[in-house]
Amino acid sequence: MSSVLLAEQAAGVARWQPPYFGPLVIPEPEAEEAQPEPVVEPEPPEPTFPPLTAEELDAIKTEGYNLGYHDGFTRGYQDGRNQGYQEIVAEVRAHAEQVLQTQVQALENVARALVDPLADAAEALEPELLLLVTTLAEQVIQSELTTRPTLIQSVLQQALDRLPVRGRTVRVRLHPDDHLVLSTYAVDLPDTFVWLPDEDITRGGCSIESSASRIDARLTTRLQQAVAAIWGDMTTPPPPVVETAPVTQPVDDTQNLTAEISGDTGASAGDEIPTVEPVAPPPRMSDPAAGELL
């Protein structure tokens, strides 16, 4: 059924009107109640105290001093105690760490010695071995010089060849025994050569000086150069000081030692000893048997 009524169907329908209740009345706002005025109470009068006597003032001052002294003493004592405790703890800890480090280092040394017992011994023996080698080489060279004294001619000629510029005067310092050996060789040299025998120079070496340069061909210097080329920067310990008389003849033990070394290396006593210095031109000498020593 449809809820829409048509005009033809609404002829008997009456319109509904709401009932009338009279005119609209708007009520007036009620008047606010009057607030009572606040009552201001009068301030109470300030209390009055009787003045303090001198005894009371002294007592108050003494009590305040005692309280302040006690409080300051307590705080200072506690602060000093804490600071002293911290300093003692730090000192004890540092000492304990130092002792522990020393003990650990000692244990490490013991462990290292157990692992490689020959390491420290090898390091300690290297300078002694170097001294032994250099001393042995010097003894062999001295023995060779005694057997073949003309070897000083080769040393001198090589030193002269290394002299860059020869001045008017060339001073040659050498051992007196070598000076006697070179008496024949010195005849062929110019008159500008000055021969200066020197006991401080070992046999087999010399020192040449001119106005502009100096050549150090001493035996000890050449041995040091050879050792430096083989051993590097290691320094030889000083040899023991032994007061002995000068020996001009070879000792039997040295000759035997030279023979043993020559036999072990497969070389004869007359073979030349190699050198680490640059090879110089052949020496200009009248003795063809003279060879090169270092």
Residue 24, SS3 per DSSP = coil
**Overall pTM surpassing 0.85 (yes/no):** no
Q: Could you read off the pLDDT tens digit of each residue along the chain, which spans 294 residues?
A: 556 666 666 666 677 777 777 777 677 766 666 666 777 777 777 777 777 788 888 888 888 888 888 888 888 888 888 888 888 988 988 888 998 889 888 888 888 777 766 666 666 777 777 777 777 777 676 666 665 666 777 777 777 777 776 667 888 888 888 877 777 666 667 777 788 888 888 888 888 888 778 888 887 787 777 777 776 655 555 554 444 444 444 444 434 433 343 344 344 333 443 333 333 333 333 333 333 433
DSSP β-bridge partners for residue 193: 170
SS3 193: strand
Centroid of chain to Cα 60: 70
Q: Which CATH number fits domain 121-236+251-265: 3.30.70.1050, 3.40.50.720, 3.30.2320.30, 3.50.90.10?
A: 3.30.2320.30
Torsions phi, psi for 215 (to 5 deg) = -115, 120
